[in-house]
Amino acid sequence: MGRFGDDRGERVDYPFPGPWAALPVLGAVLVIAADSDATRWGGGRVLGIRPITYLGDISYSLYLWHWPVIVIAPFALGYELDMMHRIGILGLVLVLSVLSREFVEEKLRHQRGIVSTIPRSFAMGVVCIVSVLLLAAGVAVAS
């Protein structure tokens, strides 16, 4: 069940994903259906604009960074976030995403020695997983 506020500010339960989940799906269908390079603002042209393609390039990093920052920020700051803080968090997530893509993803992707064999790739995966588990354990102990 999803929980959303009604017009009186009270919480109301709705089945998840519910009919509202159809809106982004419909939007994606319309973008795909409208893909035409023949028009000035066709989907292919708009999605081909360099800032949009760069956003696509860092999308995996955005995916990885957005939720931890959104969840940790109110606890780290000690209060509920207002709109300016949320905009700041968006900027922080964008910066973290760019940095992690450039200095982690791209470095690892182009460095043959670290992931050149299956055992090395497996070892690298284990190191990453153990690192995250140790970080989570440290946060849990500190709380």
pLDDT, tens only, 94-106: 999 999 999 888 8
Categorize the per-residue pLDDT at 35 as very low, low, confident or very high, splitting at 50, 70 and 90: low
**Range with the lowest mean pLDDT among 21-25, 42-46, 127-131?**
42-46
Q: Residue 42: is its pLDDT beyond 90?
A: no
Is 29:43 a contact under the CB 8 Å cutoff?
no
Backbone conformation region of residue 9, classed left if phi is above 0, alpha if psi is from -120 to 50, else beta: left
pLDDT of 1 reads: 45
Segment 11-19 mean pLDDT? 70
pTM for the model:
0.59
Residue type at 64?
Answer: L
Please give the pLDDT value at position 114. 66
| Residue-range domain boundaries for the chain | 1-48, 49-114
Decide if pLDDT at 82 tops 80. Answer: yes
Q: Residue 41's pLDDT band (boundaries 50, 70, 90)?
A: low
